[in-house]
Homo-oligomer: A and B are copies of this chain.
Amino acid sequence: MQFRSTIISNQEVSPGYFRMRLTAPPELSGASPGQFIMVRVRDAIDPLLRRPFGIFDVGTIKSEFPGLGSATYFEILYKVVGKGTEALSDYHHGDHVDVIAPLGAGFDLGDPAEEKILVGGGVGIAPLYYLARTLVQRSRVRFFLGGRTRDDILCVTEFERLGVETYVATDDGTLGDRGLVTDVMERHIREDGRPKTLYACGPMPMLKAVADIARRTATPCQVSLEAYMACGMGACLGCVVKGKGHSDDTPDYRCVCKDGPVFTFDQLKWV
């Protein structure tokens, strides 16, 4: 769907990180966790291209006035890194943006009986919240959250409020354990021993570490990737990543926007 969306709120939740709530057509309630949106930051030519963001949450607000019905909204959680996100952070309640959503293939929810392990790094937690909220209805969920420093650890309370057991680690030890959250997670997997499914989103080095753990512990694992995108709908072929079978002679490219952003770790080539 392409729709004109009204910004309901846009709050700085940690220095440089914003959480934005926007209106959506009712159909967006059908979006799967892991799907993403493309937003046209301004109706101008600078920035030119749309910017992709994971769906942090989707919901409906009931009107306070009986009979007025309810409105669908969604949220994104974003980090200010360049001119597009900077422009976004300037938006206020009541401003409008053009949105395409939902895009891409989301997470597979897996076997309800198995424990679900979510691993997020920095703003990579964005698609994991909606996933967690969906998963807790059927499965036990644990969340491992890493970041460089305290300010990069977002929304812990929100995850805990869902009943998700949350572990935090920071590189500098300013919040939670000092070190890599993936190490903490691996320990949990090994100690616990029961079958699990891994879901990860974050910077590439973290995803690699997670994929590595998945391989070593033979745990099913889904990762959500990022890539520079132009169209978001599988047409420009700008966003591809190397698939499992890729080599110079047998090229195997997958579109992050259409085939992903969520892939099982064994669909991809990890170099």
Contact = CB atoms under 8 A, between A and B. Distances in A.
Nearest to A44: B46
Closest 3 CB pairs of A and B: A46-B46, A44-B46, A45-B46
Contacts of A44: 46
A140 B54 CA distance: 69
Interface of A: 44-46
The SS class assigned to the A binding surface is: loop
A232 to B, nearest CB: 23
Contacts of A46: 44-46
A132 B174 CA distance: 66
3 contacts: A44-B46, A45-B46, A46-B46
A46 B44 CA distance: 8
A90 to B, nearest CB: 11
A46 B45 CA distance: 7
A235 B46 CA distance: 28
Contacts of A45: 46
A45 B45 CA distance: 9
Nearest to A48: B46
A222 B76 CA distance: 59
A45 B44 CA distance: 11
A146 to B, nearest CB: 35
A246 to B, nearest CB: 38
A42 to B, nearest CB: 9
A71 to B, nearest CB: 27
A75 to B, nearest CB: 27
A44 B45 CA distance: 11
A253 to B, nearest CB: 33
A171 B44 CA distance: 36
A95 to B, nearest CB: 11
Nearest to A87: B44
A239 to B, nearest CB: 25
A55 to B, nearest CB: 29
A45 B48 CA distance: 12
A45 to B, nearest CB: 6
A189 B231 CA distance: 66
A207 to B, nearest CB: 34
